[in-house]
Structure 1
Amino acid sequence: MENNRNWAGNYRYSASELLVPETLEQIQEIVARSNRIKTLGTRHSFNGIADCNENLISLQKFNRILALDTKHNKVTVEGGIRYGDLCQYLYEFGYALHNLASLPHITIAGACQTATHGSGDQNANLASAIHSMEVVKADGNKVIFSREQQDGLFAGAVVGLGGLGVITKITLDIIPTFQMSQFVFDHLPLVQLKDHFDEIFSSAYSVSLFTDWKTSTFNQVWQKHKLPGFEHAEVESEFFGSKLSSVPRHPVPGYSAENCSEQLGIPGPWHERLPHFRMDFTPSAGEELQSEYFVPRKDVYQALCAIDRIRDFISPHLYVSEVRTIAEDNLWMSPCYKQESVAFHFTWKADWEAVRQILPMIEEQIAPYHARPHWAKLFATPPAHLQSLYEKLPDFRQLLLQNDPQGKFCNDFLKNYIMEKH
């Protein structure tokens, strides 16, 4: 298989062939005749969750918008469409999604299958917008999972970790379009979160804190304000000890803000403010590694202080770390299942040996708070401990077996962390 690496270059896929079907019938035929197969999105996973030692199937040609339902506020798309492409279409017709991830470059199916998220006190992860999805199962037949079904399996299928089949069609809930503006504040002391965490994170529709962990301070606060119209939002020049920036910022210190979404309070469309990075530029730092952990909101300050205790080990190998809130959901394998959560994201320099030694240190510090790692990023959590963090895992395991009894979509990652009882 040519071009057999992921987006970051740190993972090499073991598949012998990459197949790029153009029709549903081709997908069904490929799946039916394959012994082992997995679906590949934009390759933004940092581990082996999307790998397979036989066939990989790409949905890059399955990227169309199929229907806009203005009566019920829904849009139906093919599984391989990227957020950035759908967003522009929705905006032109006066609609929006409730949230977006930092990068608009990723596919909808891939992001939802791994419970990728945006941020905001009232905003659940991206998968929570799914109303229904069409999946090609291991036998090549289609199955529909819908929120309207009474069997309860929809909540297990939405964050399916790629184990149910090939997601060919998704219907998403949409909302009326809106304008946003974005402000950045410099230098927020960590100690301010002890008594003011709720005030800080409720100050805008979406709030992110960035730090390089060189000091007990967040380098930047990014506030994304939802506007009632096209007017400018008004903010004070000081925010809990941080100062309003008069120039655009990049989250990574020393990088140009040219590829970041518009700041300085300039109003603009929701899809040009919710992501941190613009669709037409290289996302984030480029060659990098990523880890992310979700902790219960009630424990966030103690968990951040625990990480701060080892920041001297972290900072030399880090580009930047981000902290953001996510509302709870009812999706079985979501890290935010029935839990108001806060995500600690780490964008590492591309030195796996160094990162591999740091991850257990971080996980030891935040273990008392039952931290759950992001499924598609780098972590060191032992399978037995990871399984203990998901009360619905036995039900999810059963769902996978019902839809794929021979384990056609079950790769080494799923065997280790989901199917095998440790």
Structure 2
Amino acid sequence: MSNIVNKNTDESNQQAMASSVEAPSYTQKQTFGQLLRGDLGFLPVFLTLLIIVVYFTATPPAGIFLQPRNFSNLLQQSVQTGITALGVVPVLLLAEVDLSLAVVGTFGAVVMGILSERMGVPATAAIAAGILAGALAGAINGFFIAVLRIPSFIVTLAAYIFYQGAVLSLLAPQDTLIIHNPTIVNIAGSSTSFLPDWLGIGLPIVLLIVYAVSVFYDQTIRKRNGLRTKSMPQLVGRIVLVAAIVLGVVFTLENTPSPTPGLYLGVPTGVAIFMILILIVWLVLTKTTYGRHIYAAGGNAEAARRAGINITMIRITVFTLCSGLAAVAGVIQASRANSVATAISPVLTLQAIAAAVIGGVSLFGGKGSAWAIILGTLIITSLANGLSLQSRGTDVQFMIQGAVLLLAVTADALIRRAQARSGR
């Protein structure tokens, strides 16, 4: 650099500035620890999932865990937790929390069930009303949090209590309302709730193409702006790994035997909806100004406000989105159970938060991806599924899930401290 500084021409100074900006893209090397904290941050989570799969495959009852039928059931079991966790992501990106997700999801499903079964409203309108009811609940939460500046912990805890009472009131005098509408049941609750083969194979391929194009587009934009970029082998390896996992899952599902001899089940509709929602949320968070504002507000709310970002609007819409997705999860679960009930899952909210955090979304805001919840959700669901196959009680399941969550949060905190010390 001293040779450059000694040249007193404007041209050489401009070249020095350009080289200082572009150097990280091509010459700056990263240590293994930096890779784990950055671009390869998903690997520890993936390896954890791999260890869980190997353990439950090798231990009694050996071989059942990865059988196509159990694998299909596992993915269907993960949909409610996964979609709820997807709603958690933008909330955590703001360094906030929502404790009302489980009951708001049930509230939306109950609204749908009552409109459909008691009032004869068409299925499409009933489903839309249930999702809107959940979104409205989130908007109210967001108003108290963003406008009245009440802590999200208190607001959403109060909402949990309120909507639990609302569910009891709406379903009274029943505890359970059976859903007979075939349109609702066919979403995820019948033997026909699977995509046809052409769509079950074609849709994942389309999603993979969109993902690959987006990855290369991001690389081009970062290179153009002089930001750190990945090497071509890293990009190709990442896409190949994702493609291998997705196509492997699709192959397994397409070869899942049906209870009817000679037939196969294919890709569950609920799983397809889950993946489409992840893609949409990911595109919103990463490809829109609104999504960038969420990350900015979560990273430093005061700096974002001074930059002209409407923090109030961001918070209200994020909680609206979160509760709306919880209602979608509630509708799919109601379809799978063919009913809505007053019983509220005591662990769904915590499992959703755990899935997001385990997947890499930081509790401290500003860091995480919508795709992260896939691995986190699979870890949570695989633990529950595998322990159930081993006839373990819910006490053991809860203790193990709690330990995994604690380890994930501890790792997140340690990584944050390491990044702060290194000035990142």
Q: Verify same fold: TM over 0.5.
A: no
Higher helix proportion? 2
Larger Rg: 2
TM-score normalised by L of structure 1:
0.25
Higher relative contact order (CA 8 A, sep 6+): 2
TM-score normalised by L of structure 2:
0.25
